């Protein structure tokens, strides 16, 4: 690996690099045994996460998401309707296919569509709302984002109590997004399928991946053992399309592993456990939000879970914590990089609008938390 490639890797996977060094330094200080290290790692969570990531990568590759977007957009008549479709696609699809996948798919799609419609000036506000929609829509399901899956498995929550915990925040988020879009610029425009490059979704493969997705969901809900499901999905994808294995974000899996090791080492020190436990107890929402601003919400969930038994408040904290700074949710960085790559001269405007809107949403949702 050349120095330039190494620099790019560090820039792209900063959280992974930090997690690696924290794990190494904590191991040098604590010197855990191999069995202790293995005990720190939650293989159940990692196995389920990897299964879902592989299946979603398959669905993305065969063009299912693009097909859905195009079919919806061919029925709109103005810019406001276009933005509404683009934002709601991220809000609802993130619930099933994660916030990362929603943004990786529909931010480039939004850039293409709004340029095609002759309204690139709407891109900053539209992509910021897409990002907020993906981060807040994904909170409603255990599979919407990595921190949800971890908390759901770690605390052994029932699906009903998980949804009940975050439903008020997701519902209010939906209302706020709709109101903001309805007050946005409205100009007549008509898109047709001829405006888009031909999208030929591979429906045979799409059907197979859909079945695999249902199997993975069954694993999340505890109907099948995670290891059996992982082996089944790996075998199935090897027969369908081995190229999918290259599209999986293994760095996320490694990030989880390194944080598991670091957190396990820190948790083995009685004094640290006592101090952090006393700080977090009763303040899970506030601490979850604050920690997410600095280290992002996935690492915050992994770190704080070791020191509290209140999984529901932690769930709220790290999901609301995805709002705020650009690094509060790694999904937000995806949108920023995709936009800046195309419109580098507007990245300052994007950053400002992103920060203002995120803080506004965070303030309103924190207000709801106080009321509840």
pLDDT reported for residue 323:
96
* 3-state secondary structure at position 188: strand
pTM given for the model: 0.86
Sign for the CA dihedral angle at 39, 44, 47, 52 comes to negative
Return per-residue pLDDT of the chain as tens, 372 residues: 677 788 888 877 777 888 899 999 999 988 999 898 988 898 988 999 899 989 988 988 888 887 888 878 877 888 999 999 999 999 999 999 899 989 988 998 899 889 888 889 999 999 999 999 999 999 999 999 999 999 999 999 999 999 999 999 999 999 999 999 999 888 888 776 666 665 566 888 989 999 999 999 999 988 999 999 999 999 999 999 999 999 888 988 888 899 889 888 887 888 877 887 888 888 999 999 999 998 889 888 988 998 899 999 999 999 999 999 988 998 898 898 889 888 989 989 999 999 999 999 999 999 999 998
Phi, psi of 98 (to 5 degrees): 75, 150
Nearest to 366 by CA among 183, 88, 173, 179: 173
CA distance 293 to 329: 8
CA distance 4 to 180: 42
């Amino acid at each position: 690996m050349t120095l330039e490639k190494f620099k790019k890797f560090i820039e792209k996977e900063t959280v992974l690099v930090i997690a690696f060094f924290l794990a190494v330094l904590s191991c040098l200080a604590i010197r855990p045994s191999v069995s202790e290290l293995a005990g720190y790692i939650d293989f159940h969570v990692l196995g389920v996460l990897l299964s879902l990531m592989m299946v979603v990568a398959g669905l993305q590759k065969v063009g299912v998401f693009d097909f859905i977007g195009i079919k919806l957009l061919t029925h709109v008549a103005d810019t406001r309707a276009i933005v509404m479709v683009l934002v709601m696609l991220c809000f609802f699809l993130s619930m099933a296919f994660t916030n990362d996948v929603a943004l990786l798919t529909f931010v480039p799609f939004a850039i293409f569509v709004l340029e095609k419609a002759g309204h690139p000036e709407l891109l900053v506000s539209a992509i910021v709302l897409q990002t907020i929609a993906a981060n807040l829509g994904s909170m409603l399901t255990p599979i919407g984002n990595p921190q949800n899956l971890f908390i759901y498995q770690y605390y052994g929550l029932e699906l009903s109590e998980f949804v009940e915990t975050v439903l008020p925040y997701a519902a209010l988020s939906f209302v706020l997004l709709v109101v903001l879009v309805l007050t946005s610029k409205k100009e007549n425009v008509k898109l047709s399928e001829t405006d888009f490059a031909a999208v030929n979704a591979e429906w045979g493969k799409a059907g197979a991946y859909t079945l695999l997705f249902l199997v993975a969901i069954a694993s999340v809900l505890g109907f099948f053992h995670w290891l059996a499901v992982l082996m089944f999905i790996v075998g199935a994808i090897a027969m369908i399309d081995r190229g999918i294995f290259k599209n999986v974000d293994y760095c996320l899996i490694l990030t989880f592993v390194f944080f598991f090791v670091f957190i396990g080492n820190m948790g083995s020190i009685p004094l640290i456990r006592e101090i952090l436990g006393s700080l977090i107890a009763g303040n899970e929402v506030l601490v979850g939000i604050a920690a997410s601003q600095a280290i992002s919400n996935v690492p915050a969930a992994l770190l704080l879970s070791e020191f509290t038994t209140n999984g529901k408040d932690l769930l709220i904290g790290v999901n609301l914590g995805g709002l705020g700074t650009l690094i509060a949710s790694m999904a937000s960085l995806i949108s920023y990089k995709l936009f800046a790559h195309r419109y580098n001269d507007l990245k300052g405007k994007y950053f400002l609008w992103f920060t203002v809107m995120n803080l506004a949403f965070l303030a309103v949702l924190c207000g709801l938390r106080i009321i509840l």
